[in-house]
Amino acid sequence: MTAPAVEIRFADARRPEDATHVRLDVFDGPIALLLSLIEQRQLDVLTVKLGDLAGAYLDAIARIEGGRLPLLSSFVTVCSQLILIKSRALLPRAPAPLVIADGDAAEVDPEEELRRRLIEYRLYRDAGRALAERLSLGVALFHREQGVAVAAGRAGARPELSAKLDPQLLADALAASVRLVPPAPPPAETVARSVTLEERAAVIRRALLVAPKLVLQELLRDVHDRIVIAVTFLALLELAKGREVTIEQSEPWGPISVRTRAGSANGRAVHGR
Q: Annotate each residue in 64-103 with x if it binds other proteins (CB under 8 A) or - if it does not, as one string.
A: -------x--x---x-------------------------
Is the Cβ of residue 143 or residue 224 nearer to other proteins in the bound state?
143
Smallest separation (angstroms) from other proteins to the CB of 201: 54
26: three-class secondary structure by DSSP: coil
Q: Annotate each residue in 137-156 with x if it binds other proteins (CB under 8 A) or - if it does not, as one string.
A: xxxxxxxxxxx-xx------
Pairwise CA distance, residues 273 & 144, whole Å: 54
Q: How far, rounded to the nearest angstrom, does the alpha carbon of residue 266 sit from its chain's CA centroid?
A: 54
* Residue 128 found at the interface with other proteins (CB under 8 A): yes
Q: Residue from 32, 61, 64, 240 that binds other proteins (CB under 8 A)?
A: 32
Cα-Cα-Cα-Cα dihedral sign, residues 195, 200, 202, 206: positive
Q: Residue from 3, 108, 119, 171 that binds other proteins (CB under 8 A)?
A: 119
Is the Cβ of residue 133 or residue 248 nearer to other proteins in the bound state?
133
Q: How many residues bind other proteins (CB under 8 A)?
A: 43
Is the Cβ of residue 99 or residue 157 nearer to other proteins in the bound state?
157
Residues 6+ apart with CB under 8 A from 32: 121, 125
- Lateral strand order in the sheet of 245-249: 213-215, 256-260, 245-249
* Residue 30 found at the interface with other proteins (CB under 8 A): yes
In terms of phi and psi (left: phi > 0; alpha: psi -120 to 50; beta: otherwise), the region of 11 is left
Is the Cβ of residue 23 or residue 49 nearer to other proteins in the bound state?
23
Pairwise CA distance, residues 203 & 220, whole Å: 10
* Residue 135 found at the interface with other proteins (CB under 8 A): yes
Element (H, E) at 215: strand 213-215
Report the interface residues with other proteins, using CB under 8 A.
26-32, 71, 74, 78, 116-117, 119-132, 134-147, 149-150, 161
